[in-house]
Amino acid sequence: MSNWGVMAAEQLSWGSMMEEGWRKGPWTAEEDRLLIEYVKLHGEGRWNSVARLAGLKRNGKSCRLRWVNYLRPDLKRGQITPNEEKVIIELHARWGNRWSTIARSLPGRTDNEIKNYWRTHFKKKVKGGSSDNSEKSKARLLRRQQFQQQQQQQQTQLFDMKKFMSLLDETDSRVPILPQMIKQDSAAAAATTNTFPNSADDHQIFVYSMFNNYSTVAETANHEDIFWDGLWNLDDHHVNGNINCSIATNKASLHASAYNPFYY
DNA sequence: AAACGTCCCAACCGCGAGGTG
DNA sequence: TCACCTCGCGGTTGGGACGTT
């Protein structure tokens, strides 16, 4: 197919960029919410229907990308761990720039994430030899990591609450007497009394105890699966002895998680 | 303090593969 | 077989945050 053919097909299939009204650029919390609602109802795929069915002024391609790279609930956010880095290096040696192939070996990581990580951490090294290994850059990296760890800890707290609350939301139909107030109050109380966990162990225990306080929620294996699925990334930290919390540290993530109840 | 450089990541773009009628 | 549609992939860009000079 010629370039024009491809472009024409793409314009038709993914929604014409010439057509009026397609939004571009950063996603808003409201758009995220609409997209998550759409996926909840219709599942992944049929991305071109999103605009029509969800009332989003985004083309299908943009919606898919946003979901895959950012909104998917199974995403593992936060810094790449040393173990993951090792895997990336090994797989890149084997596969080259086949990021999606590499990403499949790193659950919760997206091809985009790995691609970005590679570009910022390794491409220069390959190009410019060991110049980047100076003490200066190491110190800089350390400082940055320390800062990010702090941020991540805060975000993990948010993560716990949001994951927990979303579970409550999912079960609201089964638990008729589950006042919104309780959810809000427990969140507020935990936040204000600083009772959040400080280590990965505490973290897991904390969430689990909170979960058990609402025993109705945990009664079914199905919900436990959902719950523990949300905690899987903590195991990685245990294995690595790394207390990095798996939450995005960047501004966009903070922004999204701050007021997007579906973000986790 | 300000200019500049670097890091980082979300998002976009172009393209190709595979499916379908 | 062909045209079109849908989806996914890899490359690239834009821009904010942060660090350095």
pLDDT in tens, A153-175: 444 444 444 444 344 344 333 33
- In this structure, are A122 and A149 located in the same domain? no
User: Which nucleotides of strand C come closer than 7 angstroms to any CB of the protein?
Assistant: 4-13, 16-21
Do the domain assignments include residue A181?
yes
Q: Which of A11-15, A141-145, A148-152 has the lowest mean pLDDT?
A: A11-15
CATH value at residue A42: 1.10.10.60
- Residue A95: which domain range? 82-133
User: A102: how many CB neighbours lie within 10 A of its CB?
Assistant: 23
Q: Report the alpha-carbon distance of residue A253 to residue A188 in Å, rounded.
A: 21
Say whether the CB atom of A120 is under 7 angstroms from strand B.
yes
> CB within 7 A of strand C: which residues qualify?
A 1, 5, 8-10, 12-14, 44-48, 60-61, 64-65, 68, 97-101, 111-112, 115-116, 119, 136, 139-140, 143-144, 147, 251
- In this structure, are A122 and A190 located in the same domain? no
**A223-248 pLDDT per residue, tens:** 333 332 333 333 333 333 332 333 33
Do the domain assignments include residue A77?
no
Q: Report the alpha-carbon distance of residue A206 to residue A35 in Å, rounded.
A: 30
- The contacts of residue A193 (CB under 8 Å, 6+ apart) are none
- In this structure, are A161 and A191 located in the same domain? yes
Higher pLDDT, A141 or A26: A26
Q: What is the DSSP letter of A242?
A: -
In terms of Cβ atoms closer than 10 Å to its own Cβ (0-12, 13-18, 19+), residue A53 is middle
Instruction: Provide residues 242-261 of A with CB closer than 7 Å to any strand B atom.
Output: 248-250, 252-253
Q: What angle do CA A66, A92, A85 make, to 5 degrees?
A: 75
Do the domain assignments include residue A264?
no
* Closest protein CA to C1' of nucleotide C2, residue: A1
Higher pLDDT, A240 or A21: A21
**A84-110 pLDDT per residue, tens:** 888 888 888 888 888 888 888 888 899
Whose structure tokens read 């049929």? A46
User: Which nucleotides of strand B come closer than 7 angstroms to any CB of the protein?
Assistant: 7-17
**A49-75 pLDDT per residue, tens:** 887 788 888 888 889 889 988 898 888
* Closest protein CA to C1' of nucleotide B10, residue: A26
- In this structure, are A152 and A203 located in the same domain? yes
pLDDT band at A193; cut points 50, 70, 90? very low
- In this structure, are A181 and A244 located in the same domain? yes
- In this structure, are A169 and A127 located in the same domain? no
